[in-house]
Structure 1
């Protein structure tokens, strides 16, 4: 469709809630979005200047626009979610999760069985879930089995067949796990009392079951049935123990969904907790692949609709870290303190842990994706124009003004590239002048790279504050590289990051991966520089000591070092050992120098 035709479409869009679909030249849906006002939202794509490159590409590819008007914004949210899952448009976020989740089923029968299943059959049975962990399902079923005697057989227990004696009790009856409904040994009313209590437990409400058991225990004790009373007491302890483990906040907080999000450049991680009577009855984290630099608010709104639909949640209130618009009659709360704030923080912690675990997994299974994510994060954190796949860091080393040296370490894709490390002996600076030394080594490094036509880094890090950064900038100016390579300085005391011509430093989160990589670079440059400085001082001290011996020249020193490897070994050598290397006359001179204070 031509641009004039698109302009006409934009002008005639309704100002109503709805869903819009973008098509490319091949008639393929490439993006689906929802809007409170279709006209304003769709028009903004074509009138705004987009910072994100993918969004600019998307807009260029749009050749046709279709829309669906709905009554409410909530309807738009649901429709958007369904269309994304159906068509999987290229530029929409990906909701990763296709597996079938387990449910707990209370079968529609005269004497209902209670069991786990991954198939939901619409036959009137009750399904609780879905649960995100089979471990949770097994724990609940074990709890129920320990509290109530339920049948496990799949006989069709019609009254007529029971009366005719068609069934016989099995081993479960003799073990005390079933009361023998198949032979009419348990009434339907008694059995359904247990089912009613089980329903409440699956909802997270233990109050009714505990109350009933306590009444039973008291009655049995009064009637002197102490063994039966003890068994009921054990059930109470099992239930109270489970309740204590599962109740994490005020039991008055019930029928609430909690959502939180953490994100990076490529993915969003949305955690969902479902709360019933102060207990977490469901927890799940959804990973969302970003496509168009979506905001946390956009991702969270999409995830809330998806998760509530997926897990069949009808909670009337949700807790979130910031205001979201999910339509309908749902109350949206942003907790500020107390138990509500505590449960939101727990959700955020779950999302962070999930993200860390995914990072560890991806680092092993998909190292390229791991590197790209870190590089994208560094680019964003450091406000760079491109990902810093090649970083070089400089550090000066001198102690009391002696033997000034410098070091340059190189990281590629976030990891040390030791074959590219370089040492520098300061040549043009006299005395301990860090600023002039930094100017010299930066100039020498990049002059050589330019002469040898070697690739330049995307980022230079200077170990030092504004002074060292200014000195390095002089060298880049002299080489015509100012603006070609990004450069920052890091001050040791507060881990401040300084930028050229910006008096206000940047402070990164102390736990951020970007700062950790910068610190690793700085520490590695410092270590590499100190190592070189130490070696240089040792060599100088060694040469000075040997050169003070009268009658011993440079050739003799070299010959001795080739054999003994160090000045300490030369000093401790026996006279005949020295004679074997440099002859009698020179051996005596060396030996006497190191043993002149000894009495013979």
Structure 2
């Protein structure tokens, strides 16, 4: 449901014979009268059309009317209300649906007064999955039912450390399927006793699956039971004089014990899954620290820094507001734990109840939210609160350095490069680079800098086609045309700065593209390498505008602005090189089979899938190649001959 501004009572309708009637001023009383007593979302807009605030409510009428009371409003809410020029509402079936809709609207509308998380990274899991011999692996992405997933973990290092410990303790394989299916002798891990080498038949399916079950039990929090079982097996092997087997079990017990100590704090409640959230606010910045407990083991924490905006009245959101915003946005796309422990907010005693109802409806089960935990859980919360304070202090130091770099860069470039909001942290930049190997596998990269950091999720690569090998100007032109054509159509925004890795020639090419699309070329700046390509000797080159060209700038080794520019340029260079190398390797491997007589797309895919890659295929004999379905002995001999002819 969307509430529209209606003509004031007694205003004549526009019948086309007179001038259009100007839109009446925003009337809160009239708007509130039309709202239902139903759950939903509401949006406040300013006169210029920008979104001020997005909120959710169990009862739209009661919630919206609370903003327009004559007394009792906080300074922040009063400031917000004074700027409202339009109201829109959407009715939902439940408050949980309103929660999800609010999260989506915050991401798309970017309201000034909302708390917005700047955390778009997915969380890692530990995956155990496969057919006969399941594989232990690190995983990011959506979960499925074919494998078992454990997590999420707060960081990739925590997940990888757990995998390393589990491999030592249970000797599970971590190799890729392609390598596992085509291995004839143990890999290095199998040779040093870190893997039970199921690829070579050193362990039966039943024994391997028993190890997988123990690993899963350990991850689920049944560590004491797993250790007791291993200890019994160790003593039984010792009594049977099987001392080598007893020593192996002893080493497993030691590895698991070490893992428990590294991931303790153990609970007395067993296999509980819980999240702990605490917030810190200082000097206009905020941090939310999320600690994760899975299977009774504390896996570590992760700090998230939401964008809380600048308050003109000097007031900042309370810790309760921060935690509520975090919960509503964070758990919209992630599994909900059995228990949530949060820092209490004396100003909002209803917060735990409200969050519990929302999470319970989303999870379709009861999810308690606790603010006064006892014993071990209290220690978790105390650690989380301390972690939030430490993370915020470190963030303020880093952000202060980055802010100083941004301010100096904007000052050096000139007033035309300032963001419309006036906040240096809203400055955005995109940087382009071209990479190839003597004209082969040409790729262009575009990296994005926003909100004071590199935004890897917004990076783009462009496969360059139809240009002469080694024509960097033509490659740059194609990349810029493909990137900024949507901007010319009004489908995307132009960044504050467009950096080009190159000198006057590259900058002039970029200017021609911008002129063709009717875009402002003044945002273009080239980064020309200095003598010997040494960092610190770069020169900033500007385009020709209205027949005049600004003098090049050499910033010097100690320039903060140059440090930031070099950081963005180097990231574009790294991103371009990695993409080019991957494309080159793929092209070289594929071309060898594509040119072979009698090998079409299906047979090529079967060969690469069976052997796991060109390297393994080269090392295979004609008899091995003939084992691939659809490959006869005669064709296998031809493939073998052509492979070794190509390698000469």
- Give me the TM-score of the superposition, normalised by structure 2: 0.51
> Counterpart in 1 of 2:33?
11
Structure 2 unaligned spans of 5+: 6-23, 361-365, 408-648
Contact 2:273–2:295 (8 Å) recurs in 1: yes
> Counterpart in 1 of 2:245?
228
Quote the Cα distance in structure 2 between the aligned partners of 1:250 and 1:122.
29
Contact 1:321–1:344 (8 Å) recurs in 2: no
Q: CA-to-partner distance for each residue in 1:113-144, whole Å, 9 max, x for gaps?
A: 11223344647333333333232122111101
Quote the Cα distance in structure 2 between the aligned partners of 1:260 and 1:117.
27
**C-alpha distance 295-342 of structure 1, shift in aligned 2 (>3 A):** same
Tell me which of 353, 367, 370 is aligned to 2:390: 353
Is residue 2:288 matched to residue 1:270?
yes
Contact 2:341–2:373 (8 Å) recurs in 1: no
Tell me which of 253, 267, 284 is aligned to 1:250: 267
> Counterpart in 1 of 2:330?
307
> Counterpart in 1 of 2:186?
170
Quote the Cα distance in structure 1 between the aligned partners of 2:340 and 2:77.
34
Give the aligned length: 364
Cα distance, 1:11 vs structure 2: 0.9
Quote the Cα distance in structure 2 between the aligned partners of 1:314 and 1:133.
17
Contact 1:252–1:277 (8 Å) recurs in 2: no
Cα distance, 1:75 vs structure 2: 3.5
Contact 1:362–1:369 (8 Å) recurs in 2: no
| Residue aligned with 1:20, SS | strand
Cα distance, 1:351 vs structure 2: 0.8
CA RMSD after TM alignment: 3.2
Tell me which of 281, 287, 301 is aligned to 1:283: 301
Quote the Cα distance in structure 1 between the aligned partners of 2:338 and 2:38.
27
Quote the Cα distance in structure 2 between the aligned partners of 1:366 and 1:154.
44
Pairs within 5 Å for 1:463-542: none
Cα distance, 1:249 vs structure 2: 4.8
Quote the Cα distance in structure 2 between the aligned partners of 1:276 and 1:118.
17
- Please tell me whether Structure 1 or Structure 2 has the larger radius of gyration of its CA atoms: 1
Quote the Cα distance in structure 2 between the aligned partners of 1:277 and 1:183.
33
Cα distance, 1:266 vs structure 2: 2.1
Is residue 2:380 matched to residue 1:343?
yes
> Counterpart in 1 of 2:344?
321
Quote the Cα distance in structure 2 between the aligned partners of 1:209 and 1:136.
21
Quote the Cα distance in structure 2 between the aligned partners of 1:336 and 1:369.
43
Structure 1 unaligned spans of 5+: 371-600
Quote the Cα distance in structure 2 between the aligned partners of 1:267 and 1:342.
26
**C-alpha distance 194-271 of structure 1, shift in aligned 2 (>3 A):** same
Quote the Cα distance in structure 2 between the aligned partners of 1:257 and 1:29.
32
> Counterpart in 2 of 1:79?
101
| Residue aligned with 2:146, SS | coil
Q: Higher mean Cα deviation, 342-351 or 311-320?
A: 311-320
**C-alpha distance 282-307 of structure 1, shift in aligned 2 (>3 A):** farther
Contact 2:320–2:344 (8 Å) recurs in 1: no
Tell me which of 31, 55, 61 is aligned to 1:39: 61
Quote the Cα distance in structure 2 between the aligned partners of 1:170 and 1:123.
30
| Residue aligned with 1:105, SS | strand
| Residue aligned with 2:306, SS | strand
**C-alpha distance 365-180 of structure 1, shift in aligned 2 (>3 A):** closer
Is residue 2:87 matched to residue 1:65?
yes
**C-alpha distance 238-304 of structure 1, shift in aligned 2 (>3 A):** same
Cα distance, 1:156 vs structure 2: 6.4
Q: CA-to-partner distance for each residue in 1:266-299, whole Å, 9 max, x for gaps?
A: 2332222222354212412222232463332222
Q: Higher mean Cα deviation, 354-363 or 46-55?
A: 46-55
| Residue aligned with 2:290, SS | strand
> Counterpart in 2 of 1:488?
none
Cα distance, 1:332 vs structure 2: 1.9
**C-alpha distance 240-121 of structure 1, shift in aligned 2 (>3 A):** closer
Quote the Cα distance in structure 2 between the aligned partners of 1:262 and 1:175.
47
| Residue aligned with 1:3, SS | coil
Cα distance, 1:78 vs structure 2: 3.2
**C-alpha distance 47-309 of structure 1, shift in aligned 2 (>3 A):** same
Cα distance, 1:94 vs structure 2: 2.1
Quote the Cα distance in structure 1 between the aligned partners of 2:197 and 2:280.
53
Q: CA-to-partner distance for each residue in 1:350-387, whole Å, 9 max, x for gaps?
A: 111111211222333325999xxxxxxxxxxxxxxxxx
> Counterpart in 1 of 2:153?
131
Contact 1:6–1:64 (8 Å) recurs in 2: no
